[in-house]
Structure 1
Amino acid sequence: MIIKKLRLRLTKFRRYWQHYVFQSLAATVALFALMMIINIQEKPVIIASIGATTFIVFTMPGYLTAKPRNVIGGHIIGMLCGFLASAAIMILENPPTIPMAMILSLAVGLSIFAMVVLDMEHPPASGTALGVALHGISVTVTLTILVSILFLSLVHKLFRHRLRDLT
């Protein structure tokens, strides 16, 4: 069974290897350009979810989760849920481990709930909720997220005719 699946993957790779190479390089260049625009040293927790979004946009461009509506909407939802959690953490002034873990978990759970209800599912955006909750509310975090999601959505839109689903 495993060998059969591996053969199928290799056959698909041989047939579409140009897409695999192009899309991997395009993702690398897009993320590099994005990192040159934003200051990643200040926001390593936030950029991790953007890396996951880059994967989805470039390897699964036809999937619902890669659509600009979901990328932008999902990350905005995640950001807002993270801001709520961050505000709760600030109000409690460095809560002990259990309440802190509950607040962070609620940020992720609330982001999942809101994305599903609003039909803007984008899994990496729950990572944004967690990252924002940990990092705190700031203009730089907000701008980093907004610039990142708008940039990746624009790249997706511009290159959609060149991208194919690789999964």
Structure 2
Amino acid sequence: MQCVLATISIMFILLFLNYFVYTTIIASLGATTFIVFTMPKTHSAKGKNILGGYTLGIIFGIIFHLLSIFLIEIIETINLNTLYMITGALSVGATMFVMTITNTEHPPAVGMALSLILTPWDFKTLFFVYLCIILMIIVKKSLENYLIDLQ
């Protein structure tokens, strides 16, 4: 039954994010779906970790996305691929560091930080990401007594 819930969740995500075509963002949410519905008792499946992790991933993804835009404007000779590699790595490192010190570790959210560097996005998509994670947290919380770790 938990795998059916995961399938329905990711189908919902795919149906709506398909309009935006942000594949790396979808992959991040797919990984969260796996954790929530197959390992619901683990540390990274806690609601505060999912919400906190994605909040940090999105914040650092936006910061380093804006930094890359700024650097492109002032350093005309910089190679875009190199710039995205550097800012992508910095977004991952910063997200991991702050997740660790705030005890909100959720690995897929680190992928979200990176995806905001590598994939075009808009704020409507980020709103939808929050909606998806909040819905997953609500479903998990309401079924908490019935979900088991499937490992």
| CA distance, structure 2, for counterparts of residue 84 and residue 40 of structure 1 | 25
Of 138, 148, 152, 2:132 maps to 148
Q: What are the ranges of 5 or more consecutive residues in structure 1 without an aligned counterpart?
A: 1-21
* Offset at residue 62 of structure 1 (A): 0.3
| CA distance, structure 2, for counterparts of residue 44 and residue 99 of structure 1 | 21
Which structure would you say has the larger Rg?
1
Q: Is the 8 A contact 1:62 1:164 kept in 2?
A: yes
* Offset at residue 56 of structure 1 (A): 0.2
* Offset at residue 155 of structure 1 (A): 1.3
| CA distance, structure 2, for counterparts of residue 40 and residue 108 of structure 1 | 25
1:13 is matched with none
1:112 is matched with 96
2:32 is matched with 53
- Verify: 1:159 aligned to 2:138, yes or no: no
| CA distance, structure 1, for counterparts of residue 121 and residue 102 of structure 2 | 23
The DSSP-based 3-state class of the residue aligned with 1:93 is helix
Letter of the structure 1 residue corresponding to residue 84 of structure 2:
M
The 4+ residue runs of structure 1 with deviation greater than 3 A are none
Q: Report the count of equivalent residues.
A: 145
TM-score normalized with structure 1 length: 0.80
Q: Is the 8 A contact 2:84 2:118 kept in 1?
A: no
| CA distance, structure 1, for counterparts of residue 57 and residue 132 of structure 2 | 14
1:10 is matched with none
The DSSP-based 3-state class of the residue aligned with 1:146 is helix
TM-score normalized with structure 2 length: 0.88
- Pairing of 1:13-24 with structure 2 (within 5 A): 22-24=1-3
| CA distance, structure 2, for counterparts of residue 150 and residue 143 of structure 1 | 11
- RMSD between aligned alpha carbons? 1.6
1:73-117: CA deviation from partner (whole Å, max 9, x where unpaired): 101100011001110111122841323211100000100001001
The DSSP-based 3-state class of the residue aligned with 2:32 is helix
Q: What are the ranges of 5 or more consecutive residues in structure 2 without an aligned counterpart?
A: none
| CA distance, structure 2, for counterparts of residue 145 and residue 85 of structure 1 | 19
1:39 is matched with 17
| CA distance, structure 1, for counterparts of residue 31 and residue 19 of structure 2 | 18
| CA distance, structure 1, for counterparts of residue 35 and residue 61 of structure 2 | 22
Q: Is the 8 A contact 1:86 1:137 kept in 2?
A: no
- Verify: 1:125 aligned to 2:104, yes or no: no
Identity %: 32
Letter of the structure 2 residue corresponding to residue 39 of structure 1:
L
